[in-house]
Amino acid sequence: MKLTNTAITGDFFKKYYSLIINELMPYQWDVLNDKTDAAEKSHAIENIKIAAGASKGEFSGMLFQDSDFAKWLEALGYCLQKGDLQNFRAKADEIINYIAQAQEADGYFNTYFQLTAPERKFTNLHEAHELYCAGHLIEAAAAYYEATKNEQVLSIAQKLADLICSRFGEEPGQIRGYAGHQEIELALIKLYELTNNENYLKTACFFLDERGAEPNFFIEEAKKRGGFSEWSKRTERYPSDFTYNQAHKRVREQFEAKGHAVRAVYMYTAMAEAARLTNDATLLNACEKLFDNITQKQMYITGGIGQTNHGEAFTYDYDLPNDINYSETCASIGLIFFAHSMLKMNKNSKYADTIELALYNTVLSSVQTDGKRYFYVNPMEAVPENNQNPARAHVKAVRQKWHVCACCPPNLARLLASLEKYIYMWDDNILYINQYISSVANFESDSGHFKVEMQSGFPNSGEVSVCVKSFAGEAVALRIPAWCKNYTFTMSGNAIKPEIKDGYAYVKIPDIKGNFDASTDTFDILRVNFIMEPEFIYANTAVRADAGKTCVKRGPLVYCLEETDNIHNLHNLSVNTKSDLILKPGNIGGFDFYAITADGFAESASDKGELYTSNEPIREDMKLNFVPYFLWGNRQRGEMICWVRR
């Protein structure tokens, strides 16, 4: 069975998809075309026009500027697959035509090198992002081709991929190296699945297998061009062991997440995809260990990863500082990719749980409810005055209109535009429901087809109903969320007890057949209620930053305190974990939610403000007002904190 199309129907994610259609994509198009004064100049599309000879000027922007347009184009492809944003198709086709004009006869395309240093192509893979940009263009081409059958964009991708396959490998005359920033591996695998060209899978596996080999490729490459750049050394992208690029060990020997977080999870995703397609048990073993290391020892409660701004990187186990954490948006998006690829091989709810956690918290937090402002960094604490401290300047209290390094906004667009593929899976004659997002989906195969409709109250309610028409499988498997302690299953109002395995409840065909309505060719509605109770969460005692603190969570949502609803200097608040957590309805930016109140107290100075004193602070009882983390920063500029003293 193949999932042919899915439509998201619920209000919550329909609002986000509406933002994509009406705000994110048009706004980002204007930014990419330098048509707005509200954001940093991008020059991404102008670079393409210059490379094609359709405009005059010089390259401008980051050396990976091409990737911004590529990710936007990929997002457009997903929207077009659903029939939306047709007014942008001609505009995109025009830029694709410029890319075709700029693409060289051998398939090479990269505006930075073509316009600034054509003699240095493929001589600085460590820093220059050539393969990264190529990867994003290939992924974009695949999505756009699937939506439009535009042969030109597929030809561009294949010519570029064929060039890479010919230039890299173990044969004489080939470059025995790999990308400084992983992405090409994922792209080649995606193109392989689209075209069945074995060379693409072979080269993707080569890049994975070669990474970490001795002698280190980056060192050998640098010798040929006269050494590493001062920029590379200055910005700590030249550590002696190359953990930054995950080139410190062979990939099958990597069991702890190290280095730049985005590069890491992109690579881990490619490893998982390669393991699935080649049945490589050693690669899968490494992926399993890496996933558990991230989620059990290096992941924030919001699904954020990458603890430090120095190298946007992982640090070490249980090091999870709240006030200086990085948690780049792209890293959580990459974590979702990784978890999804693992779920394809192993139907264990922990992978879908991680997708849910990162999606509802870090990813949704990264965009303003108007769709025009973005967080690059997703902190656990924010204080507006942080910009006065260089060690905390990366932590913003308000979202930005754009970023000089603008990888996150279009990455967000491509994830949310393709959200439907994370909801359902068909495997071994079983329909898996991984995410509880209201939707209608169709599955087809040579032997038949069926349709599934789901209504979900997530993230505010755990009530879910499922109805399937013409079902031909053995069972429907529904994920039991990790946060859910109590749940009920009913069919036609009668309680049922499905088999539970690896976090999934398997409702088998006999249970369905007994409630089958031949007149409509459907089984009666299967209803599930995942009881959502607000609760206090405590970190492992090895996490120093959270000692003596607690965090409030309800269902998939992590909560935080904002200055708007409480007091200035949120660090002076403490919460009584023995008090009741009371729900009350709220709305921020058009999103309905349940706010949570709890008893606590605030401390204030008992004297005239001496820096140090022997007098105890004054305690004043007060109600603490928590709101969902994903909505913070959408009102007045102010403080935010997730972990509260208890």
**pLDDT, tens digit, for every residue of 35-81?**
988 777 889 999 999 999 999 999 999 899 999 999 999 999 999 99
Q: For position 408, what pLDDT does the model report? A: 82
Mean pLDDT of 448-471: 92
In angstroms, rounded to a whole number, what is the distance separating the alpha carbons of residues 499 and 269?
Answer: 30
Question: Of 142, 175, 169, nearest to 158 (Cα)?
Answer: 142
> Residues 5, 484, 378, CA angle at the centre, nearest 5°?
70
- Phi-psi region for residue 316, left (φ > 0), alpha (ψ -120 to 50) or beta? beta
Amino acid, res. 248: H
Q: What is the pLDDT of residues 86-126, one digit of tens each?
A: 999 999 999 999 999 999 999 999 999 999 999 999 999 99
Q: For position 514, what pLDDT does the model report? A: 67
In angstroms, rounded to a whole number, what is the distance separating the alpha carbons of residues 540 and 544?
Answer: 9
pLDDT at 614 over 80: yes
Q: What is the pLDDT of residues 572-589, one digit of tens each?
A: 999 999 999 999 999 999
Q: Which residues of 107-119 are buried (b: 16+ CB within 10 A; e: fewer)?
A: bbbbbbbbbeeee
In angstroms, rounded to a whole number, what is the distance separating the alpha carbons of residues 56 and 47?
Answer: 9
Q: For position 493, what pLDDT does the model report? A: 83
- pLDDT > 90 in the chain, percent: 80
Strand 475-479 versus strand 430-433 pairing type: parallel
Please give the helix or strand (H or E) that residue 79 lies within, else none. Answer: helix 66-81
pLDDT at 235 over 70: no
Sign of torsion over alpha carbons 182, 186, 187, 188? positive
> Tokens representing 433?
């429901």
Amino acid, res. 219: I
In angstroms, rounded to a whole number, what is the distance separating the alpha carbons of residues 308 and 324?
Answer: 7
If you write DSSP's letter for every residue of 290-317 in order, what string do you get?
HHHHHHHHSB-TTS-B--BTTTTB--ST
Q: For position 410, what pLDDT does the model report? A: 86
Question: Of 613, 561, 150, 646, nearest to 382 (Cα)?
Answer: 561
* pLDDT class of 296 with cuts at 50, 70, 90: very high
Classify residue 414 by its DSSP letter: H
Sign of torsion over alpha carbons 508, 514, 518, 519? negative
Question: Of 403, 320, 417, 318, nearest to 363 (Cα)?
Answer: 417
pLDDT at 422 over 70: yes
Neighbours of 187 (CB within 10 A): 28
C-alpha torsion 46→47→52→54, nearest 10: 30
* pLDDT class of 511 with cuts at 50, 70, 90: low
| Largest CA-CA distance found in the chain, in angstroms, rounded | 80
In angstroms, rounded to a whole number, what is the distance separating the alpha carbons of residues 410 and 404?
Answer: 13
In angstroms, rounded to a whole number, what is the distance separating the alpha carbons of residues 260 and 308?
Answer: 9
pLDDT at 171 over 90: yes
Mean pLDDT of 177-193: 97
- Is-catalytic flag, 330? no
Q: Which residue matches tokens 């393991």?
A: 275
- Phi-psi region for residue 378, left (φ > 0), alpha (ψ -120 to 50) or beta? beta
Mean pLDDT of 498-512: 89
Choosing from 139, 312, 381, 563, which is the catalytic residue?
A: 312
- Is-catalytic flag, 79? no
pLDDT at 474 over 80: yes
Q: For position 237, what pLDDT does the model report? A: 56
Q: Identify whether the C-beta of residue 167 lies closer than 8 Å to the C-beta of residue 175.
A: yes
Q: Identify whether the C-beta of residue 586 lies closer than 8 Å to the C-beta of residue 593.
A: yes
Range of weakest confidence among 40-49, 232-241, 427-436, 550-559: 232-241
Mean pLDDT of 393-421: 86
| Residue 199: Cβ-neighbour burial (10 angstroms; 0-12, 13-18, 19+) | middle
Question: Of 94, 84, 106, nearest to 45 (Cα)?
Answer: 94
pTM (2 decimals)? 0.96
Q: For position 123, what pLDDT does the model report? A: 95
> Tokens representing 405?
């390094």
pLDDT, the chain, mean: 93
R_g (Cα) of the chain, nearest Å:
25
C-alpha torsion 363→369→371→374, nearest 10: -50
Q: Which residue matches tokens 């193949």?
A: 2
In angstroms, rounded to a whole number, what is the distance separating the alpha carbons of residues 2 and 435?
Answer: 18
* pLDDT class of 449 with cuts at 50, 70, 90: confident
| Residue 506: Cβ-neighbour burial (10 angstroms; 0-12, 13-18, 19+) | middle
pLDDT at 3 over 90: no
CA–CA distances in Å: residue 641 to residues 304, 533, 591, 626, 645: 15, 21, 21, 10, 10
Q: For position 473, what pLDDT does the model report? A: 82
Query: Residue 421: what are its φ and ψ, rounded to 5°?
Result: -75, -10
Mean pLDDT of 548-569: 97
> Residues 181, 333, 25, CA angle at the centre, nearest 5°?
100
> Tokens representing 594?
């349940």
Range of weakest confidence among 283-292, 302-311, 329-338, 442-451: 442-451
Choosing from 407, 467, 551, 642, which is the catalytic residue?
A: 407
442 Cβ contact partners less than 8 Å away, ≥ 6 residues apart = 3, 4, 5, 6, 449, 450, 451
Domains and CATH numbers, the chain: 2-422 (1.50.10), 424-482+487-530 (2.60.420), 535-645 (no CATH)
Q: Please report, for the chain, how many H helices and E strands are present, in that order.
A: 19, 24
Sign of torsion over alpha carbons 125, 129, 132, 138? negative
- Provide the 3-class DSSP secondary structure of residue 338: helix
Q: Which residue matches tokens 């898996």?
A: 432
Q: For position 226, what pLDDT does the model report? A: 85
